[in-house]
Amino acid sequence: MTPRQIVQMSLAFAYPPRIPFGMGSAGFPSDFRGVHHDPAPNRVQQPWTQRDGYWDMIDMWGNTWRRLESITKGEVFKGVIQDSWDLLETYEFPILDKAELFERAAAEVKQYHTEGYYVLGGMSWTFDTARYMRRMEVFLRDCAEEPDRVSHLLNRIADVYERVIERYADIGVDGISTGEDWGTQDRLLVSPPMFRRLFKPVFARLCGVAKSRGLSIHFHSCGFVRDVIGDWIEVGIDSFKFDQPELHGIDWLAEHYGGKMHIWSPVDIQTTLQTRDHARIEAAAREYIEKLALPFGGGVIAGYYGSNEAIGLTPEYQETASRAFMKYGDPALWTGRPAGRTEQG
């Protein structure tokens, strides 16, 4: 069975021979490969450039970013339409739907499928793009004071991303990989009613396009997002890249959404990995599988956090987690599925 088939079975909750692997770091395996389209031809980007005491860059949308060192992602220092909504009237949106921008990615998809991998097309999403264009603190105020303008901007951005999804489907990807951070450590960045009023319609629009083309959707979000997980599942998101799954509670996730979602996750980067307790780390990986995947025929994709340095750890702790995911996600575990369950669930 190929990696691609294992992922397909898991997403269908059809008891694959093991959990999917989405690690791909430090020598650990991944059943996935990613592709990206080429940059917009009508925009000039500036790569990260060192200045006097900081680094800056200009992204594809025209926003200026800054950071103080090379580990973190940085943050928008100047949004392209931050100064006035009037700037949106003459703003030139990136052109991302030209077929030639996807030719390189198309060749990669073909090669990865030949090798048996599940292929994801990488892209951004609407909330992040909008908040970068207006800058975070300005945009959150906009959501309360000028919701009609916010909705208009989100839909203009969605016009661009809808065509990106269509192009990715045209070249044969299996799914979309995207995401944006929606939570602090204890709440959403906006209220759940505001999310449902302003943002959920755009989520539904883009996810609807992907689903109509047979694509799965894999969505990263940091922070406490428990209040909208159900909304995200409703619009069609298949897996959630949670770096802190324990923030929501493994038992709570299993009780409310077991058999309805996958978590694509390392062992929790802010609690369990930070204990530096190898036995506890291994037990957590096993718990995720036994509670979120085993009873439902799927539900966990083994992940690996991309920067040990950023979380202040040496690689050995994630290596323990990765070995545990491979150990407890092997075929011997799946033979213990509940009596009466079939390969089709």
Answer whether residue 345 is part of any domain: no
Between 250 and 72, residue with greater pLDDT: 250
Answer whether residue 339 is part of any domain: no
Using CA of residue 210, residue 215, residue 219, residue 225, what is the dihedral sign? Answer: positive
**22 and 32 housed in the same domain:** yes
**38 and 48 housed in the same domain:** no
**195 and 250 housed in the same domain:** yes
Q: Determine the Cα angle at 158 with ends 4 and 166, to 5°.
A: 40
Percent of the chain with pLDDT over 90: 92
**pLDDT value at 341 more than 50:** no
Cα 22–chain centre separation: 12
Answer whether residue 87 is part of any domain: no
**60 and 26 housed in the same domain:** no
Of 47-61, 223-237, 319-333, give the lowest mean pLDDT range: 319-333
CATH number at residue 289: 3.20.20.210
Q: Which pLDDT score is estimated for 332?
A: 66
Between 68 and 187, residue with greater pLDDT: 187
The whole domain housing 52 covers 44-81
Using pLDDT thresholds of 50, 70 and 90, give the confidence band for residue 331.
low
Give me the number of domains the chain comprises. Answer: 2
**151 and 11 housed in the same domain:** yes
pLDDT tens-digit map of 47-81: 999 998 899 999 999 999 999 876 667 899 999 99
**51 and 65 housed in the same domain:** yes
- Pair 276, 318: CB distance under 8 Å: no
**156 and 285 housed in the same domain:** yes
Percent of the chain with pLDDT over 70: 95
For the chain, give the mean pLDDT.
Answer: 94
- What the block records as the tokens of 126 is 């609407």
Using pLDDT thresholds of 50, 70 and 90, give the confidence band for residue 335.
low
Stated pTM of the model: 0.94
**192 and 209 housed in the same domain:** yes
Using pLDDT thresholds of 50, 70 and 90, give the confidence band for residue 343.
very low
Separation between Cα atoms, residue 188 and residue 254, nearest integer Å: 21
Answer whether residue 344 is part of any domain: no
Q: Three-state secondary structure along the chain? A: CCHHHHHHHHHCCCCCCCCCEECCCCCCCECEEEECCCCCCCCCCEEEEECCCCEEEECCCCCEEEECCCCCCCEEEECCCCCCHHHHHCCCCCCCCCHHHHHHHHHHHHHHHHCCCEEEEECCCHHHHHHHHHCHHHHHHHHHHCHHHHHHHHHHHHHHHHHHHHHHHHCCCCEEEEECCCECCCCECCCHHHHHHHHHHHHHHHHHHHHHCCCEEEEECCCCCHHHHHHHHHHCCCEEECCCHHHCCHHHHHHHHCCCCEEEECCCCCCCHHHCCHHHHHHHHHHHHHHHCCCCCCCEEEECCCCCCCCCCCCHHHHHHHHHHHHHCCHHHHCCCCCCCCCCC
Greatest pairwise CA separation for the chain in angstroms? 66
Answer whether residue 343 is part of any domain: no
Q: Which pLDDT score is estimated for 337?
A: 56
pLDDT tens-digit map of 98-136: 999 999 999 999 999 999 999 999 999 999 999 999 999
**pLDDT value at 339 more than 70:** no
**51 and 147 housed in the same domain:** no
Range 21-48 average pLDDT: 96
**222 and 73 housed in the same domain:** no
**pLDDT value at 342 more than 50:** no
Using pLDDT thresholds of 50, 70 and 90, give the confidence band for residue 31.
very high
**12 and 112 housed in the same domain:** yes
Separation between Cα atoms, residue 325 and residue 78, nearest integer Å: 42
Answer whether residue 227 is part of any domain: yes
Q: Which pLDDT score is estimated for 276?
A: 98
Last residue of a domain, one of 81, 110, 135: 81
Using pLDDT thresholds of 50, 70 and 90, give the confidence band for residue 211.
very high
